[in-house]
Each structure stands twice: as C-alpha cells, then as structure tokens.
Amino acid sequence: MAVAAFAAAVLFAGCAQDAPQDTFQPKGPNARTIDDVQRPLFYVAGIVGLIVFAVIGYSIIRFKDRGQDMPEQTHGKTWLEVTLTVIPAVILAGVAIPTVAAVFDLDDKSNECVINVTGQQWWWEYDYSGTCGGVEITQPIVTSGELVIPADTPVLLRITSRDVIHSYWIPALNGKRDAVPGRLQTLRMEADEPGIYTGQCTEFCGLSHARMRQAAVALSTADFQTWVTNQLAAYVAPEAGTLAATGEGTFVNQCSRCHQVNGLVAADGTPVLAEPDLYVVAGAAPNLTNLMTRTAIAGWTFDLLTDACREQLWNASPEEFGSLYLQGVWMNSGPDATKPVCFAEATLRDWLRDPAAMKPNYASPDQVASTGGLTRGMPNLNLTEDQIDQLIAFLLERK
Amino acid sequence: MFTTGSKMFLGATTLSVVAAVVFAASQGGAVGLMSTVGLVTAVIIFAFLAGINFFTRDGNTPSMQQGVEQTSSAAQAPVGRSMWPLGAAVGIGGLIVGAVSKPVVFKVSVVVLLAAIVEWMVQGWSERASADHRYNANVRSRMLNALEFPILATIGAGAVVYAFSRVLLTANPDAGRWIFVVIGALVVTGGFLLAGGRTTPKGTVAAICTISAVALMGVGVASAISGQRTIHPHPVIDDPSQKALCLEGGEGEVDEHASQDVSLKSSVVANIYLQEDGDLVALINGYSGIEYHELTVPRSARLGVIFHNDSGEAQRLTGRFGTFPDQPEAVSCTTAVHPGKSAYLGFEIPKTNAASSTPLEFIVPGVDGATIQIVVP
Ligand SMILES: [Cu+2]
C-alpha cells in the first residue's frame, strides 16, 4: 500500500502544473507540428509498452517454475518470425510518413524576420537587422538572453557559437538546434500570442552550463515596433552632476573594454568601442545599451524583476503582457517615480560585487593563465560599494 | 647444430654486413661514414654474441660437459621449422638500419621485432606444452589467432583500400564516381548471392575473394606506376590589380590545391553568387529567393561563405574584413574560380564596423559594382 502510494506520488510529481518548458504544451505552429507527431506516437508507444509489460508480467506469473514438466522445445516458427518482422516494419513505416511530412513542414520558407543567435560560455547573444515582422530595423540591435520577437510572425534564427557547442531550445516554440562553432544553422520559430517562453542551453558547454538559460518574448507588432524604436533611440547621457553621470565615468573606466553601450562617447568626443576580443575567450560580452529592458541577466539566470513583479508579468494575459513587458522594472511605478518598484536591485549589486560568486566561471587571474589572460565569464573587478552605487544609477538609465 | 639463439644472431650479423656494404657503397659524406661505422660496429657485436650463444648452446647447458652439443634440449630438432628467429633477426637488423636511415624503417622494424618475439615465445612455450603435437599446435593457434587475425585482416583491408585509392586517383573524376558505384554494387550483390546460396563451397568463396583482391591490387599497382591524373590546373588571372589585395607580388594563387567543388553545402553565412550580369548577391539558407547586398555577421565568430562563379570567366571573391587599430587591413581571397565552380572563404571579424578605418565588404576585383556590404554589429 505504502509502496503504491509512493509510486503514485512520484508519478504525479512528474505532471507539474506550472511547467513553462513542457514540450507537450506547444505555443506556436512549429512546436505544434512537432507535437502533432510526437503525441500520437507517444500514446501508441505507451499502449504498446503497456501490452509488452502485461505480457511479460503474465508470462512471469503464469509460467513460474512450480515443478511442472519441461514444455516441448521447438526450433523456428516461420509464420511467427515473419509476423514479428512485418508488424514492426509496418509500424515504423507508419511512423515515418508523418515524421518526414513534419520535417518538410518545419522547412516552410515564409520567414519575415531573420535574427542571428550566437552562443558562448555561458549566455546567448542576438543581433537583428533588416526588417522584422514589417518593422524596419535601421541599425543593428544587439541584445542578450531574451529573444524579443513579433508574435504571430515566422522568424528565422541563424544559430552559431563563438567557443564550444551549445544548443538553442525554446520548447514551447520549436525543437532544439545545436550552435556549432564555424557553422551557422537555422531554426524557425513562431509564437501564437504575446508572452514569455523560456528555454535553456541543451548541450553541455562547461562549468556554468546549468546557468545558460534563455527566453523568447513575443510582442504584438505594435509593441514590437515600440521595443525596436526604444532599442534604437539615441544615447542620452546622464544629467551632469548626478550619481549616474559619475557612474558613466566609472563605466567607461571599468566596463567599456568588454561591454558596448552604443552612443557612449569618451571625454574627447570619440566613440567608446568595446574590445571584448582582447579580454574574453569568446570575444564577446553582453551589449548593455538597453540593459534595463531585459528581465533577467547573465545567461538569463538572475531576475532583474522582483519576485512579485515577475509573477505578475509571467501570469499576464496576452493582451496585458506587452505593455507590462515594455515597462520592465518600471512596472507599477507610476509616471513620476524616481526609483523603479520592480527592480531587484540586489541581483545587479551582487553581480557587480562578484560575478563568479553567483555564476561559476574562469575569470580569476590564476584561472586565466592558460588562455593568455582571456576570461570565460565576467571577472571580479573589486569594485567599491560607492562605485557600485554609481554604476547602478548609470545602468538604470540604460532602458 | 646451430642453436635457436645463435641462429638469430647469425642472421642479424649477416644483415648488418649487407647493410654496412650497401651504406658504404651508396651513401657518401659524413652521414654515410658515420652510418657505416655504426653498422660495422653492429656486425662485430652480433658476431660476438652469435659466437657466445653458439658456444654456450643458448646457455641451456654447462658448456664443459662432454657431448652436450648432441644431448642438450636446445640441440634437439624442433617440432616444426620456426621462422621466427629469422623474423627477429630481420627486425633487429632493420632497427639498426632504421636508426641511421629513415625513422619509418625503425618503426616498422620495432613492430616486426615485437611480433617475431611474441610469436617465437608462444611457439616455444606451446611446443613443450604437452607431448601431443596436435594439441600443442591447437593451443598456439588459440593464443595467437586472436592477435594474428585482426592484424592480418587490417593489413589485408589496408592493402585493398590503398590499391583502390590509387585507382581512383588515376581515373578521371567522372569515371571514378562510376568505378566506385559499380564496384560497390558488385561487392554487395556478390556477397548477397554467396550468402543466399547455402551450398557454395568454402573454397569457391575463398578463391573468388582472393582473385578479386589480387586483381584489385594488380590494378592498384599499375595505377600507382602510371601515376596520378593531373589535377585540373587553376586558371590564372593576369590582371595584377586583381591580385594586389591578396597576393604579395601578384604571383601564384591563394590556394593551389583548392578543388573548386565545395562539398560543404550548408551551415554557411551565405551563398554568394557572381551572376552573369556582374551583380554580386548573397542568398541565405532557409530564406531562399531574397538577394541580399548586405550581410549581418556576428563579431568574433568563425564563419564562412561559399562563392559561386556564375559569370563567364574565372574570378575570385575577395573579402575585406576591416582595418583595426595598429593592424594592416584584413583581406582574404578565394583562389581564382572557374566559371560554374565554387569556393569556400572562411573569416572571423573581431570588431564592429565602427572600429574599422576601411569598409567591410565582399568584392570581386575587376567587376564594377560587385559588392556586398558586411555589417558587424
Ligand atoms: Cu551552452
């Protein structure tokens, strides 16, 4: 009895209610195409499995050794062998037809948006250009972690890697695709409705593989237009004399060698250009131009939103979702707020204080000897609390 | 008369003498002299060891005992004739020749020597395993076949593959394709028929296999002798301005050995076509039909494009990948590509366009307007 109860408990624990990465809950046409194949197959295979187990169980019990006579021993039974070959062959052929059809379906070429997706230890970078869902993207947009796409629009991802093999996977929207260095592979995606669809790197890629997550955020076309316009808005320097203005200087000194903030200019008026190729093994660090428009950082692992606001955003109806998302950490803050209510400041503080403490990496001086000083992940910059205050003030304006 | 051990050393002595003579006759200069000195030294040492072994009857008996050269076990006729002492001698001689000539001779000799020693040991042991010769032969096979079969099979298969590869290198590429298809089909059908006909005698199968293998090797040897086909020579573009970007001095080609038949069809940033009208366009996988004149590629990622020359004359694609502080302009080119052929061009751009003092673009030098902008965000 107790065993049965335990087994049942284990079994039902598998049926999580709130499971955003459930492959059996497709939220877009590509994922549905796959689901339409896998679901019937799963049921049929399940029934076949049950029958097999039942027959085995029956045989075990029925033909248990009770001292009865040895049954007659025979060799070969052609009709049985033929049957047992033909039935699986027919089943496999039956499986092959919808599978191959689905493969071709998934290759539908009507994309309306092309996005480059580049993996590295241990986060994803996206860059956009051209037009996307009818929205003109006049300058390249570079973001990380969160893939923002127009809902109800076929999107073509062009996936590659800067270091080791990773794998891009948003279960609700499509299957996975490996990101292989030196190769660029495509994956199509489309979300039915605005919302947030999570996923994670599914190819073991080193120390912080478990903290290499990602999400696709689908917005209505109008909201996507707003997002694009905001991403492309010219850089607004912090007001002179504010903490953020000091933070800008600190950022240029401490962070700009790795992180790009588009539009940032040095004291002499020349653009400040990041050179992560000189400091990071992968040759890239997240672009922070619009950091505050993301809801999580560092491989989309640590929330920039407080728990309550995160709940609110994730549970929002498709109609409300877009406007909440576009407000981001400024959600619920009211028009005149100086500090955003939803901002999980501690997350960002902790990150700046010591990234490796939150997310294991290879960035301390003794760990980078073998790579000629290049890091995997962000090093601890030994910032003072004052510098962190300034940087937070500066970064809060990158929205 | 001769004991087993002394036979080996006598063999090694003889081989060293031969090697010393060959070296002295054929190699001049300091190397020849040193080698000959080394080999003569080896002759002396082996002769000495052979003498000692002979005198002590391989150390199996007290040498002063009367009549021992007839009675000691080492003096008894072996059960069968053993070729392994000879093998070991060849190995040792080879080691020495290899040490002064080519490393490959040395390596092969090590293998020969090891094989001979193992075979010799096991044979020696098995011959005294029992009084029953048949049983002894049987234990020998049981131990050694596990070693011999895979190695001989590898050598056999290797010889067949090598011979076949010579054939393919000699035949012209189109014929090669068909030779491959036909031989493959023959092997499969033959195997199928033999497996199906349960009564085919073992001898027939062995004969067919042997004849085929020997025939193949014969043709392979003939092909090797007649030499490889000439690999299609590259076109040469005479206009020096065309080469200026990639080739210092305008001589030669970027990659003399490029096959111009690209097998990698997928997973590139774009397929770039130089069209008949001189327009250069990029097509990306998964989005056919759209001709791009601008490509966005991620920074710091090793990627590539395939260049297809659909124009009427040989052309090369040139990638200008930016001039970054303190560095010369990064340029790379495909080799000159025949009309209708293609070539791969790999690249990695570490910084954004904004950091470059020259434009980032793909061009075909000498073809006006054949340009695709590269955007690195
Ligand atoms: Cu990964």
pLDDT exceeds cutoff 50 at B357 = yes
- Within 13 Å and on the Cβ side, how many CA atoms surround A111? 25
**Cα nearest neighbour of A115 on chain B:** B296
CB A273 to CB B354 under 8 A?
yes
CATH of the domain at A206: 2.60.40.420
pLDDT at B313: 84
Distance separating alpha carbons of residues B60 and A201, to the nearest angstrom? 70
In sequence order, the 6+-apart residues with CB closer than 8 A to the CB of A371 are: A281, A362
DSSP state of A343: B
Q: What residues are paired with B281 via a beta bridge? A: B273
User: Which among B269, B301, B377 has the least Cβ separation from residue A140?
Assistant: B377
Indicate the domain borders of chain B. Answer: 1-59, 157-226, 242-375
- Which of B286, B346, B377 lies closest to A127 in CB terms? B377
* Spatial distance between the Cα atoms of B316 and B308, rounded to a whole number of angstroms: 9
* Closest CA relative to residue B319, chosen from B304, B298, B309: B304
Query: What whole-number distance in Å separates Cα of residue B221 and Cα of residue B219?
Result: 5
- B1-25 burial, b at 16+ Cβ within 10 Å, e below that, comes to eebbbbbbbbbbbbbbbebbeebbe
8 A C-beta contact, residue B88 and residue B120: yes
| Euclidean distance between CA atoms A270 and A267, whole angstroms | 8
A319–B contact, CB cutoff 8 A: no
Question: Would you state the structure tokens that stand for residue A230, as one six-digit string?
Answer: 């905001």
Which residues are B255's β-sheet partners?
A: none
**Residue B377, Cα to own-chain centre: how many angstroms?**
44
Predicted pLDDT of residue A350 = 92
Q: What whole-number distance in Å separates Cα of residue A58 and Cα of residue A54? A: 6
Cα-trace Rg, chain B: 33
Taking an 8 Å cut-off on Cβ atoms, the answer to whether B303 and A180 are in contact is: no
Residue B289 falls in which region: left (phi positive, over 0), alpha (psi -120 to 50) or beta: left
Coil/strand/helix, residue B103: helix
Which of A265, A112, A255, A286 has the alpha carbon at shortest distance from A189?
A112
Residue A328 lies in a domain: no
- B287 interaction partners in chain A (CB closer than 8 Å): 109, 111, 114, 156
Task: Answer yes or no: are the C-beta atoms of A183 and B301 closer than 8 Å.
Answer: no
Predicted confidence (pLDDT) at residue A276 exceeds the cutoff of 50: yes
Same domain, A96 and A120: no
User: What average pLDDT score do residues B193-200 get?
Assistant: 76
- Best of A184, A259, A277 to disrupt the B interface (most B CBs within 10 Å) is A184
Euclidean distance between CA atoms B17 and A345, whole angstroms:
87
Q: pLDDT tens across A19-63, in order?
A: 777 888 888 888 889 988 988 889 988 998 999 999 999 999 988
What the block records as the tokens of B25 is: 């006759």
DSSP A23-45: TTS--SHHHHHHHHHHHHHHHHH
pLDDT at B263 over 70: no
pLDDT band with cut points at 50, 70 and 90 for residue A286 = very high
Task: From chain A, pick out residues whose CB is under 8 angstroms from the CB of B346.
Answer: 182
Tokens representing A310 are: 């995160």
Q: What distance in Å separates the CA atoms of residue A95 and residue A84, rounded to the nearest whole number?
A: 17
Ligand 1 centroid, distance to A234 Cα (angstroms): 32
Q: Which of A118, A183, A275 sits opposite B298 (nearest CB)?
A: A118
CA distance B135 to B124: 14
Chain A residue numbers touching B285 (CB-CB < 8 A): 158, 184, 186
Instruction: Give Dmax over CA atoms of chain B in angstroms.
Output: 102
Same domain, A130 and A90: no
Query: Which DSSP category does A51 fall into?
Result: H
pLDDT at B252 over 60: no
In a domain, residue A385? The reply is yes
Contact B297 A130 (CB under 8 A): no
Between B250 and B198, residue with greater pLDDT? B198
pLDDT digits (tens, 9 = 90+) for A359-368: 988 888 888 8
In a domain, A262, yes or no: yes
Are A283 and A391 in the same domain? yes
Q: Which residues in chain A are contacts of B286 at CB distance < 8 A?
A: 107, 109, 111, 156, 158, 186, 188
pLDDT of residue B96: 87
Evaluated on CA atoms B202, B208, B209, B210, the torsion sign reads positive
Same domain, A390 and A256: yes
CB pairs under 8 A between A and B: 83
Asked if residue A255 lies in contact with residue A279, where contact means CB atoms within 8 angstroms, the answer is: no
> In Å, how far is B280's CA from the nearest CA of chain A?
19
Instruction: List CB contacts (< 8 A) between A160 and chain B.
Output: 298, 301, 303
Give the separation between CA B335 and CA B254, rounded to whole angstroms.
Answer: 5
- Say if residue A256 is in the same domain as residue A387: yes
Minimal C-alpha gap between A88 and chain B (Å) = 24
User: How far apart are the C-alpha atoms of A256 and A271, rounded to whole Å?
Assistant: 11
A395 CB neighbour count, 10 Å cutoff:
20
Q: How far is B357 from chain A (nearest CA, A)?
A: 13
CA angle A388, A390, A396 (to 5 degrees): 95
Of A370, A351, A280, the residue nearest B299 (C-alpha):
A280
- Measured between beta carbons, which residues in chain B are less than 8 angstroms from residue A116? 296-298
A120 in the same domain as A220: yes
Point out which residues pair with B253 in neighbouring strands: none
- A116 in contact with chain B, both atoms CB, cutoff 8 A: yes
Calculate the alpha carbon distances from A328 to A199, A255, A344 in Å. Answer: 20, 23, 11
Share of chain A above pLDDT 70, in %: 95
- Average pLDDT of the residues in A7-17: 59
Q: Which fold has domain B242-375?
A: Immunoglobulin-like (2.60.40)
pLDDT exceeds cutoff 50 at A139: yes
Asked if A111 is an interface residue toward chain B (Cβ–Cβ < 8 A), one would say: yes
User: Residue B233 pLDDT more than 60?
Assistant: no
- Write the DSSP symbol of residue B78: P
- The confidence score (pLDDT) of residue A164 equals 92
Contact criterion met (CB < 8 Å) for B299 and A277:
yes
Q: Are residues A290 and A373 in the same domain?
A: yes
Q: If you average pLDDT over residues A208-213, what whole number do you get?
A: 92
Predicted confidence at residue B249, as pLDDT, reads 47
Q: CB neighbours of A100 closer than 8 A, spacing ≥ 6?
A: none
Q: Per DSSP, what are the bridge partners of residue A156?
A: A114, A188
Using CA atoms, how far residue A25 sits from B77, B176, B260, in Å, is 83, 52, 47
Euclidean distance between CA atoms B320 and B307, whole angstroms: 15
Closest CA to A103 of A175, A42, A167: A175
pLDDT tens per residue across span A213-243 = 999 999 999 999 999 999 998 888 888 888 8
Helices (H), chain B: 4-26, 29-55, 68-71, 84-100, 103-127, 133-170, 173-196, 202-226, 240-243
Residues composing chain B = 377
B370 pLDDT above the threshold of 60:
yes
For residue A3, pLDDT beyond 90: no
pLDDT at residue B135, as a whole number: 81
CATH, residue A352: 1.10.760
Q: How many structural domains compose chain A?
A: 3
Contact B266 A185 (CB under 8 A): yes
Coil/strand/helix, residue B346: strand
Q: Cα separation of A209 and B276, whole Å?
A: 48
Same domain, A275 and A374: yes
Residue type, A41: L
Strand order in the sheet with B280-283: B280-283, B270-274, B303-309, B342-347
Specify the 3-state DSSP secondary structure of B338.
coil
Of A184, A188, A273, the CB nearest to B303: A184
List, for residues A329-342, the tens digit of each pLDDT value: 888 777 777 788 88
Q: How many whole angstroms separate alpha carbon B327 and alpha carbon A182? A: 24
pLDDT tier at B250, thresholds 50, 70, 90: very low
pLDDT beyond 60 at B251: no
Q: What is the mean pLDDT of residues A276-303?
A: 91
Considering only CB atoms, which chain A residues are within 8 Å of B302? 181-182
Cα B115 to Cα B87, B109, B129, B143, B358: the distances in Å are 8, 10, 21, 13, 64
Task: Give the ipTM of the model, two decimals please.
Answer: 0.83
Ligand 1 center to A179 CA (angstroms): 9
Cα separation, B127 vs B119, in Å, equals 12
Average pLDDT of chain A is 87
Q: What is the H or E stretch that residue A196 is in?
A: strand A195-200
Instruction: pLDDT band for A194, please (50, 70, 90 cuts).
Output: very high
Structural domain boundaries, residue A178:
114-232
Residues in chain B with CB shorter than 8 Å from the CB of A156 are 286-287
Q: How confident is the model at residue B49 (pLDDT cuts 50, 70, 90)?
A: confident
Q: Is residue A15 part of a domain?
A: no
> A111, A118, A158: which to substitute to probe chain B, counting the most B Cβ within 10 Å?
A158
Q: Are residues A248 and A387 in the same domain?
A: yes
Mean pLDDT, residues A195-200: 92
Q: Are residues A214 and A199 in the same domain?
A: yes
Please tell me the distance between residue A118's alpha carbon and the centre of ligand 1 in angstroms: 10
* Residue A21 · residue A171 · CB < 8 Å: yes
CB-based contact, A360 to chain B, within 8 Å: no
Q: Are residues A215 and A283 in the same domain?
A: no
* Residue A7: pLDDT band with limits 50, 70, 90: low
Q: Which residues pair with A265 in a beta bridge?
A: A271
Those residues whose C-beta lies under 8 Å from the C-beta of residue B173, and which sit 6 or more positions away, are none
CA A48 to CA A57: how far, in whole Å? 14
Q: Kindly state the percentage of chain B with pLDDT values over 90.
A: 5
- Average the pLDDT over B345-355 and give the result: 88
The CA distance from B229 to B218, in Å, is 18
Chain A residues with CB-CB distance to B296 below 8 A: 116, 127, 129-130, 140
Compute and round to an integer the Cα radius of gyration of chain A.
Answer: 27
Pair A254, A348 in one domain: yes
The chain-wide mean pLDDT, for chain B, equals: 80
Q: How far is A271 from chain B (nearest CA, A)?
A: 9
pLDDT > 60? residue B262: no
Residue A284 lies in a domain: yes
| Residue at A135 is within a domain | yes
Distance A124 CA to ligand 1 centre (A): 8
Q: Are A168 and A124 in contact (CB under 8 A)?
A: yes
HEC string for A231-267: HHCCCCCCCCCCHHHHHHHHHHHHCCCCCCCCCCECC
* B296/A109 touch (CB, cutoff 8 Å), yes or no: no
Neighbours of B228 (CB within 10 A): 11
